[in-house]
Structure 1
């Protein structure tokens, strides 16, 4: 399959390495004979391909993303593929300076400032904003079917009750905005003192911004108050920021619960550490 796609793109690589931290697609880092790096990306499904295609077309010139050099719409054996430029740098880490956190805030706010296009019909990116509460409910109860086999009956029941109680206390949703749905450090690229952009758009929607802060807080902002403060200042330099203290607890709880279901779907053994982390998070939330 990879050889076929490379032929489609006329791509000749002197070296190829599969990117490990990619959960919804197969990605290869390809070094060209002249030394330049490009990325070959094969989404797992046609829907993920279409979302990614529409995202790159919509974000171009508005948000820092890789350049889509070429794409192939696929056939009955392949959902499609992309040839993407390299963003210089490495994924964001918690060791980053507050100045980087400020830029991350700017980057996310620029993305959230994008609204559904009135003149364009989208077939991949769905607008979930009109019924955002139902969208979150559907996701939760879909993963609940997987979680049920992992939690004991009492923990499972308490989780359902907490979800319903916290959901009723949420403010009105903020949007409709372009939301990444996987805005985490692994998808944010940093080169020394500059954020060079964001990658991976297989899960994007139009929806409420409130669902897009959780993973960034979990894996980056929660480590240092100065990072959290700088991030908020960066975000607010572009658009108003919702009251995170009011919505984050709900989405942190939901993230822990849904992540347990995700581990069940993707394989408990190979995701054992992530499963344990989220079981611990869930139990902490249920003890409040």
Structure 2
């Protein structure tokens, strides 16, 4: 399959390395004979391919993203593939500076200013905003079938009750906005002290911004109040940040619950550490 895609794009490849930490696509970093680095991305499903394609069309010129050099619509054996330019730098780490945190806030806020296009019919990216509560419930209960096989019965029962209790305390949703759904450090590229851009759009939706802060807070913002404040300043320079303290607990809880289900689907042994972290979060909320 990889060789077919390389031929499809007419690439002269010097070396190929599979990119780690890509959970919904297979991604390869290719060094061409010219010395240029490019990325080949093969989504797992046709829907993910379609979302990514539409996201690049919507975000181009509005948010810093890689250039889509070419794309292939695929066939009966492959859902499609993308040839992408390289964003200079490496994924954001916990050692990011307040300056970087400010830029991350600006980047995310710019993304959240993008609304569903009135003039374009989208086949991959759905507008979930009009029925946001139903969307959240569907996600939660689709993973619940898997979580039930992992958690002890009493803990599982109390987790369901906690979800039902917390969802009624949410404020009105903020949107409709373009939401990344996987806005985490691994998808934010930083070069020295400058944010180069954002990658990976196979899960995007139009919906409420409130869902889009959880992973960034979990893996970056909660580590240092200075980072958090700089991020808030950056975000507020573009649009007003919602009251995160009002929504984060609910989304932290649901993200942990859904992540347990994700681990069950993708393999509990190879994701054992991530599974343990999320079970611990659920226990802390309930016990």
TM-score normalised to the size of structure 2?
0.99
Instruction: Write the distance in 2 (CA, Å) between the matches of 1:139 and 1:49.
Output: 20
Instruction: Write the distance in 2 (CA, Å) between the matches of 1:279 and 1:161.
Output: 16
Q: Paired residue for 2:65?
A: 65
1:20 CA drift (Å) = 1.1
Describe how 1:73-88 pairs up with structure 2 within 5 A: 73-88=73-88
1:285 CA drift (Å) = 1.1
SS at match of 1:38: strand
1:116 CA drift (Å) = 0.1
Q: Paired residue for 2:21?
A: 21
Gaps of 5+ in 1: none
Answering whether residue 18 of structure 2 is matched by residue 9 of structure 1, we say no
Q: Paired residue for 1:253?
A: 253
Answering whether residue 274 of structure 2 is matched by residue 266 of structure 1, we say no
Gaps of 5+ in 2: none
SS at match of 1:186: helix
Q: How many residues align?
A: 287
1:202 CA drift (Å) = 0.4
Instruction: Write the distance in 1 (CA, Å) between the matches of 2:75 and 2:59.
Output: 26
Instruction: Write the distance in 2 (CA, Å) between the matches of 1:264 and 1:13.
Output: 37
RMSD: 0.5
SS at match of 1:27: strand
Answering whether residue 143 of structure 2 is matched by residue 161 of structure 1, we say no
Instruction: Write the distance in 2 (CA, Å) between the matches of 1:266 and 1:156.
Output: 20
SS at match of 1:14: strand
Deviations 1:92-128 (A, max 9, x none): 0110110100000000000000000000000000000
Deviations 1:25-67 (A, max 9, x none): 0000000112110000000000000000000011000000000
Instruction: Write the distance in 2 (CA, Å) between the matches of 1:37 and 1:182.
Output: 24
TM-score normalised to the size of structure 1?
0.99
Q: Paired residue for 1:146?
A: 146
1:232 CA drift (Å) = 0.6
